[in-house]
Amino acid sequence: MADVRPTRAALLALLLMMAVAYAITVLILDVRGLAGYHRPKTKEPVPQYGGWDHEQSDLERALNAEDWPQVRAIIEADPALTSSTSWRGSTPIMEAARAGNVEMVTWLLAHGADVNHKAEPGTTALSEAALMSRWDVVYTLLRNGADPTVSAASGYNDIVQMAARGGELNVLRELNKLGVDLTRAAGDGTTLIVAAAGAGHLEIVRYALELGQSANDGRALVGSHTATLEAANRGHFEVVSELLARGGTLRQPATPARGSGEPAQGGGEPVPAPDAVPDVAREEDEALSRALHMAVSAGKLEHVALLVDGGADVNSRDWAGDSALAEAARAGEVDVARWLVARGARLDSVNDRGETALHVAVAAAKRQSVDALLDAGADLHATNKERMGVAHYAALAGELELLEALAQRGARTDELNARGDAPLHLGARRGHAAVVRWLLERGADALALGSRGDGAAALAIRARSEATLVTLLNAGASPTAANQKGETPLHEAAKIGAKRALAILAWRIARGDGARVPDDGVDADAVVSALGEGGADALTRALEARNQNGDTPLLIVATAGKRAVAELLISFGADAQAADERNVTAAELLRTHAASSN
């Protein structure tokens, strides 16, 4: 067989090729290039006061600390630093503008600072001041020759848009005096009236209308909202009312069928080509739906009417699938709910969980909403995806009066959901003693098992509701019935260290089935007294019961190191020498925990 091992020369050649490849890679991936560094295009290098690849200069430290007297002293010592830039291209006047220091901005201008210096990505001192809402600095810069159009190619830092969104009408008037075309669109297509409408500034909306903008203006890009819809989508209904009165519409009067691919008015992104035109109607539907739900939850019936009359779908759903009617029901806005039903809102519309507006109203404990929906014909017996009916919802919420009202109208209080839980189990799970008592009085079975085979007594213990536990035991609930995991109520109480619940259960077991637990429960002394009257054997058997892991209630608390609870169970007759599946006794577990705590 031929020798295929590489020769020494071949290995050296391979290493040489790898070294060359590495060197080329390093040259290509120049660290400065990765950091976005660009050398000045001017012939004379521009002084830099600091950056990523420089030791921090005195000027940079002073600017970062906003130590303006020190900044002034440094620049006075070296006037060339007035025009110096950071590695991002920012100048001292831009830093002062961003900080809102009018005095420093004025001083720098007097010492030759370039008011229109442009940094990456097209920002100026003016746009920095506007972005930070430093409007006194904006005035100063404008009156000293700042170009308000220098950043118009980018929508986010356009001075007109920022003034409109910031509610700065006086700034806009100043710009107008300087000859700035306030009606032009920014780079992202946003016009003055759209920006003002979206921010809810009614006076600026009126000013834009005075300048000749239309209530139906949208962004210059295909698929944008009208100014009216922009205001509605953000909940500014005073603006909506104004624009509708001035001829505005919530939907675009005419949707362009195709884009040209040409740049939008004012520069920026091109109008989408035909194959990229968005679904304008769908976007408008979504915006109208958001606006409708906001108006409904706020109880603004007049705004709801404006939106529906303007094209909003009365049956539109939000992100969770809730209808506008469900939103009204949740908010308790009965007049809005009735109006929506009259306008065609479906009573049987369900959300992503399968809940109708009636379920939502019950869960929110809105009695008037419930009555209004039922009077309108809502299905009292509808269930959600988990087969939970309105009685389940009322029991879970602990709303006894609402549960009684639903039962009077015919709601079933004994039906099981998909997990096998009746309203009784849900009420017990939340510790609603009054609801549980009422359901038991109506015939609910205290012994019925719910999901995982849990009885209502075990659920009440998990809820840490002694009152609910006592109510169930006195109605016949078993203190010893085991669930699918072999856990009895004693195990449940042991897991959470519920000493009072353990005493109640132990007393009830020792006294026997006919004994009635006092409403305020019992203490350990009462249990010891019951043991002396002949109940020791029954309680011992209950304390010896093991779950599917082989643990008694005492082993559970000993494993968790709950010494006080363990001592209580031992006083009731629990065996401290009972061992777990590892053959470790409860006494040994307690000693281990005591040693580790010391």
Whole-number Å distance between alpha carbons of 100 and 321: 46
Range with top average pLDDT, 147-156, 217-226, 229-238, 258-267: 229-238
Q: Which residues pair with 317 in a beta bridge?
A: 323
| pLDDT score, position 120 | 74
Cis peptide before 92 (omega within 30 of 0): no
Q: Confidence class of residue 513 from pLDDT cuts 50, 70 and 90? A: confident
Query: Residue 257 carries which DSSP code?
Result: S
For the ranges 141-155, 358-372, 433-447, which has the lowest average pLDDT? 141-155
CB-CB neighbours of 544 under 10 Å: 14
If you average pLDDT over residues 144-156, what whole number do you get? 67
In sequence order, the 6+-apart residues with CB closer than 8 A to the CB of 406 are 362, 370, 380, 390, 391, 394
If you average pLDDT over residues 549-556, what whole number do you get? 96
If you average pLDDT over residues 193-216, what whole number do you get? 94
Tokens of 428: 């017990």
Tokens of 434: 């009054």
Backbone angles phi, psi at 220, to 5 degrees: -75, -5
CATH of domain 46-147: 1.25.40.20
pLDDT at 36 over 60: no
The domain spans of the chain are: 8-37, 46-147, 479-598
For the ranges 85-89, 211-215, 277-281, 388-392, which has the lowest average pLDDT? 277-281
Predicted TM-score (pTM) of the model is 0.72
Q: What percent of the chain has pLDDT over 70?
A: 83
235-249, pLDDT tens digit by residue? 899 999 999 889 888
Query: Residue 274 carries which DSSP code?
Result: G
| pLDDT score, position 261 | 40
pLDDT at 16 over 70: no
For the ranges 20-24, 411-415, 566-570, which has the lowest average pLDDT? 20-24
Distance set, CA 140 to CA 94, 135, 162 (Å)? 13, 9, 17
If you average pLDDT over residues 375-395, what whole number do you get? 97
CATH of domain 479-598: 1.25.40.20
Q: Confidence class of residue 179 from pLDDT cuts 50, 70 and 90? A: confident
Distance set, CA 76 to CA 111, 253, 339 (Å)? 9, 60, 71
In sequence order, the 6+-apart residues with CB closer than 8 A to the CB of 468 are 427, 428, 431, 432, 433, 436, 460
CB-CB neighbours of 76 under 10 Å: 12
Whole-number Å distance between alpha carbons of 456 and 188: 61
Encode 367-406: b = buried (16+ Cβ within 10 Å), e = exposed.
Answer: bebbebbbebebebebbbeeebbbbbbbbbbbbbebbbbb
Give start and end residues of each alpha helix (H) in 49-186.
Answer: 58-64, 68-77, 92-99, 102-110, 125-131, 135-142, 159-165, 169-177
CB 428 within 8 A of CB 459: yes
Tokens of 289: 């739906």
Closest Cα to residue 50, out of 16, 21, 90?
Answer: 90
Residue type, 158: D
- Count of CA atoms in the C-beta half-sphere (13 A) of 82: 16
Query: What's the whole-number average pLDDT of the chain?
Result: 86
For the ranges 376-380, 446-450, 534-538, which has the lowest average pLDDT? 534-538
For the ranges 53-57, 236-240, 253-257, 478-482, which has the lowest average pLDDT? 253-257
Residue with tokens 């479906």: 346
Whole-number Å distance between alpha carbons of 123 and 146: 12
Q: Confidence class of residue 269 from pLDDT cuts 50, 70 and 90? A: very low
| pLDDT score, position 9 | 62
Give start and end residues of each alpha helix (H) in 447-585.
Answer: 456-462, 466-474, 489-496, 499-511, 524-530, 536-544, 553-559, 563-571
If you average pLDDT over residues 549-576, what whole number do you get? 95
Distance set, CA 395 to CA 65, 153, 412, 438, 439 (Å)? 60, 60, 12, 10, 9
In sequence order, the 6+-apart residues with CB closer than 8 A to the CB of 31 are none
CB 411 within 8 A of CB 391: yes
38-47, pLDDT tens digit by residue? 333 444 444 5
| pLDDT score, position 155 | 47
Whole-number Å distance between alpha carbons of 79 and 82: 6
